[in-house]
Amino acid sequence: MKHTKRALIIGRWQPFHNGHYEIIKKISNEVDELIIGIGSSQRSHSLKDPFTAGERMMMISKSLENLNIRYYTIPISDIDFNSIWVSCVEALTPPFNQVYTGNSLVRELFTEKGYVVKKPELYNRAEYSGTKIRQKMLNNQNWEHLVPKSVVDVIKEIDGVGRIKRLNEKDY
């Protein structure tokens, strides 16, 4: 029987943007199945991590609706214990034999455990960046063209831009 090629890509997806879509589309041609780890799943309602794990799962599943790939989205919360983090990820996910990440800590931890780790190429990083998109939302600049249409719909449904602006208000 053919061995299933199953890869893990882990990110915070705050929000899921066109660069994420492009890289997942590319990876979907290289593997049979993809595990999409929702990193820092316990985090939400902050300027760096405004969206909940559930909201990020909605963004991803609606964006990937038309892609021909079997994938699993798995929320993964952070732990203050880097040396056992890979074991925690393994405990939550289907088995995988390859990891995609641009994050140096993630790369180091998986490489030390013997995984093949690939660094995805970046698409239009000048614009397709979670940090820059969140900044644009805050500054009333156009951001909608930088994310899949379904992500615009999710962010509108939850008033995500309003949330980010309110979180940025000064305490008194």
Ligand X SMILES: NC(=O)c1ccc[n+]([C@@H]2O[C@H](COP(=O)(O)O)[C@@H](O)[C@H]2O)c1
CB of 146 to ligand X, least distance (A): 16
The residues near 81 (Cβ < 8 Å, ≥ 6 apart) are: none
Least distance in Å: CB of 88 to ligand X?
7
Task: Confirm if 31 and 74 have CB atoms less than 8 A apart.
Answer: no
Q: d(Cα 113, Cα 135) in Å, to the nearest integer? A: 36
CB of 74 to ligand X, least distance (A): 12
Minimum Å distance from CB 130 to ligand ATP? 3
Given ligand ATP, ligand X, none, residue 19, with its beta carbon under 5 to 8 Å by kind, binds ligand ATP
Closest-approach residue to ligand X (CB): 39
Query: C-beta of 140: minimal distance to ligand X in Å?
Result: 25
Q: Which is nearer to ligand X, 12 or 17 (CB)?
A: 12
User: Which token pair is 139?
Assistant: 């500054």
Binding site for ligand X (CB under 6 A): 10-12, 39-40, 78-79, 82, 85, 103, 105-106, 109
List residues binding ligand ATP (CB under 6 A): 11-14, 19-20, 22-23, 101-103, 120, 122-123, 125, 128-131
To the nearest 10 degrees (0 to 180), the angle between helices 149-157 and 53-63 is: 150
Q: Which of 72, 68, 69, 64 is nearest to 89 (CA)?
A: 72
C-beta of 6 vs 23, nearer to ligand ATP: 23
Give the residue with the Cβ less far from ligand X, 122 or 156: 122
Three-class DSSP category at 41: coil
d(CA 28, CA 85): 25
Are 135 and 129 a contacting pair, CB within 8 Å? no
